[in-house]
């Protein structure tokens, strides 16, 4: 049985492969990026991040309503996003406000194929109407 995803013979172009191997970062060097990707690997976290991309800054109550999840679940996911460095928070009286970090904004924009600036401006325009 022949597999379509593997070579049938050893055909290593060692000089070419070694140049590429030298340019690929080591596991330790990409661990942080892999953590960011894992943090966005959950549909609820991705929806929360999209809400923050569009809404700029939201409290847990608003975010829970926007994504249709409990405040406890949203808080749990926000904690994971904050730990990964994709979300930042600030205390505003008795409320905690969340926003995407620059890295979080960039990652969400790439994953969902949207422009970060366009998403926020669309909501601001709708708020004015």
CA distance 75 to 71: 6
When pLDDT is cut at 50, 70 and 90, the band that residue 129 belongs to is: very low
Tokens of 57: 């800054």
pTM beyond cutoff 0.85: no
CA distance 62 to 87: 16
80-98 mean pLDDT:
93
Residue range 24-66, pLDDT digits in tens = 988 888 888 888 888 888 899 999 999 999 999 999 999 999 9
When pLDDT is cut at 50, 70 and 90, the band that residue 72 belongs to is: very high
Residue range 7-22, pLDDT digits in tens = 777 788 889 989 998 9
| Exposure b/e, 13-51, CB count within 10 A at least 16 = b | eeeeeeeeeeeeeeeeeeeeeeebeebbeeeebbbbbbb
Tokens of 66: 């926007």
Q: Does residue 118 have a pLDDT over 70? A: no
The SS3 assignment for 90 reads strand
Q: Percent of the chain scored above 70 by pLDDT?
A: 86
Widest CA span in the chain: 67
């Amino acid at each position: 049985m022949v597999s379509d995803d593997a070579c049938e013979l050893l055909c290593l172009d060692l000089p070419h492969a070694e140049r590429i191997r030298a340019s690929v970062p080591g596991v330790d060097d990409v661990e942080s990026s892999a953590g960011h990707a894992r943090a966005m690997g959950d549909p609820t976290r991705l929806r929360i991040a999209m809400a923050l991309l569009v809404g700029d800054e939201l409290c847990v109550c608003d975010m829970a309503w926007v994504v249709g999840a409990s405040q406890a679940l949203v808080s749990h996911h926000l904690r994971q996003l904050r730990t990964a460095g994709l979300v930042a928070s600030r205390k505003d009286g008795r409320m905690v406000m969340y926003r995407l970090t620059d890295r979080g904004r960039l990652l969400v924009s790439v994953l969902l194929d949207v422009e970060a600036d366009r998403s926020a401006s669309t909501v601001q325009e709708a708020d004015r109407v």
